[in-house]
Structure 1
Amino acid sequence: MLFDLDGTLVDSAPDLAGAVNEMRLNRGMATLPLEALRPHVGTGARGMLNVALQLTPEHADYEASKSEFLDRYEARIVQETRLFDQVLELLKSLQVAGIPWGIVTNKAERFAMPLTRQLGLDSAAFAVIGGDTTAHSKPHPAPLLEAAKRGGMDPQRCIYVGDDERDIIAGRAAGMGTVAAGWGYLGKGKPIEAWDADIVLSSPSGILKLLGLA
């Protein structure tokens, strides 16, 4: 079983929002509420800088601001980040049942590795694949196929769980079953029901029911 990270296993929105709000404060601007920033977390630095500072990649200050944002985020990577409710129970149940699980995220290894280590996920996961682990990131299937390879698994016997349409596209392209995580960030694009996932679940505990473990 494979999982996306941000918005699926962990709620990292408070720290990502905190980093960009630090930038606003540093520029003499008021902070934005978490509710205004949360929907943009899945789009990474590009989305956060756009909504918080109205900066696009074409802007002369974009690259410097992106570096500042990433540095600030790295400095507070697990200050407020936590596992979503029911995730710890889910992962422990998978382990007890002998079902191996791994993580495939578009988060660069620079952030994915320390985050999973500090939350205690890396020791239990058979693989942590970052957005720069392979030559392609999601929605390309390469990261998912790399994870399956490391786990010695047939991709067609894997299930991938994610909270973004890119996750579902990547999972289907890899030949995996797909679960759309309705408890995640979801973003501003198509409604989750239009992602063409095999199933949409509203909570992590639904995975246990799907697998016949609850």
Structure 2
Amino acid sequence: MNPPFADVRAVLFDLDGTLIDSAPDLGAAADKLRTDRGLPSLPMEQYRPLAGAGARGMLSVAFGMTPEHPEFADLREEFFVNYEACIHQRTKVFPGVDTLIAHLHQTGTGWGIVTNKAARFTDVLVKATPLFSSAGAVISGDTTPHPKPHPAPLLEAAARMGMAPEYCLYVGDDERDIVAGRAAGMRTVAAMYGYLGTQTSAQHWGADAAINSPLELLQLISAP
């Protein structure tokens, strides 16, 4: 019996919470904003669920602050400076990602990265991770005029890889990933081991499948 996505020719991945566990560095950058102001440090467990939301998520945890707050822009830039200083001190690929990427490479299945992270951060992380050198496309949040959940970044990745969207699979750990994938005409997989956010339950995102570890993806795309 063929796996459900046997016809997939390329797999696109979100970055934070899907390929890499960047929560420790994102949380540390946000927590430094607190300690620099004489506020007590918060436990990493509070930052982790919103790590996929970047500065917006981290500032909401650290200060209960939304983008509408008058100090948001200044604190966001200070957060970015903090993050650049520690961007890959604690960040690691999730267990099994190395084996997964190696399998895709060996079987001739294209793969790429589509993230809402700004290129100033994405490029540093990709260069610092030799495993990612075989990516056929790396699309950041500012590569196209619209970030996810708009389908533009996913369609740009497919175009750069010379793949029709219907032969692409998108894997992500946030509802916007699934929304973007569906809008792009791709099939989607929810990475249940990721950050998942704090909004709707992942079971209601409408993904075509869900995985609890990176290597479970192989069961969906490859015959045993």
Q: TM-score of the superposition, structure 2-length normalised? A: 0.93
Residue 29 of structure 2 corresponds to residue 19 of structure 1 = yes
Partner of 2:175: 165
Q: Using CA pairs below 8 Å that are at least 6 residues apart, which structure has the higher relative contact order?
A: 2
Partner of 1:206: 216
> Over residues 150-182 of structure 1, what are the superposed CA-to-partner deviations in whole Å (9 max), with x where a residue is unaligned?
000011000000000100000001110100001
Tell whether the 8 Å contact from 1:4 to 1:161 is kept in structure 2 after alignment. yes
Partner of 1:140: 150
Residue 53 of structure 2 corresponds to residue 43 of structure 1 = yes
Partner of 1:103: 113
> Over residues 35-84 of structure 1, what are the superposed CA-to-partner deviations in whole Å (9 max), with x where a residue is unaligned?
11101112221121121122222322211111000111011110100000
Unaligned ranges ≥5, structure 2: 1-10
> Over residues 175-211 of structure 1, what are the superposed CA-to-partner deviations in whole Å (9 max), with x where a residue is unaligned?
1010000110001111111000000111111111111
Residue 170 of structure 2 corresponds to residue 155 of structure 1 = no
Tell whether the 8 Å contact from 1:7 to 1:42 is kept in structure 2 after alignment. yes
Residue 130 of structure 2 corresponds to residue 120 of structure 1 = yes
Partner of 2:204: 194
Residue 13 of structure 2 corresponds to residue 3 of structure 1 = yes
Tell whether the 8 Å contact from 2:98 to 2:131 is kept in structure 1 after alignment. no
Partner of 2:82: 72
Alignment: residue pair count: 214
Separation in structure 1 between the aligned mates of residue 223 and residue 47 of structure 2, nearest angstrom: 35
Partner of 2:188: 178
Residue 91 of structure 2 corresponds to residue 81 of structure 1 = yes
Unaligned ranges ≥5, structure 1: none
Cα offset for 1:122? 4.0
Instruction: Report the residue type matching 1:40 in the other structure.
Output: L
Instruction: Report the residue type matching 1:138 in the other structure.
Output: K
Instruction: Report the residue type matching 1:103 in the other structure.
Output: I
Deviating above 3 A after TM superposition, structure 1's stretches of 4 or more consecutive aligned residues are none
Instruction: Report the residue type matching 1:4 in the other structure.
Output: D
Instruction: Report the residue type matching 2:87 in the other structure.
Output: I
> Over residues 21-44 of structure 1, what are the superposed CA-to-partner deviations in whole Å (9 max), with x where a residue is unaligned?
111110111111111110111222
Which stretch has the larger CA shift, 54-63 or 167-176? Answer: 54-63
Tell whether the 8 Å contact from 1:122 to 1:128 is kept in structure 2 after alignment. no
Separation in structure 2 between the aligned mates of residue 174 and residue 121 of structure 1, nearest angstrom: 27
Partner of 1:61: 71
Separation in structure 1 between the aligned mates of residue 53 and residue 164 of structure 2, nearest angstrom: 30
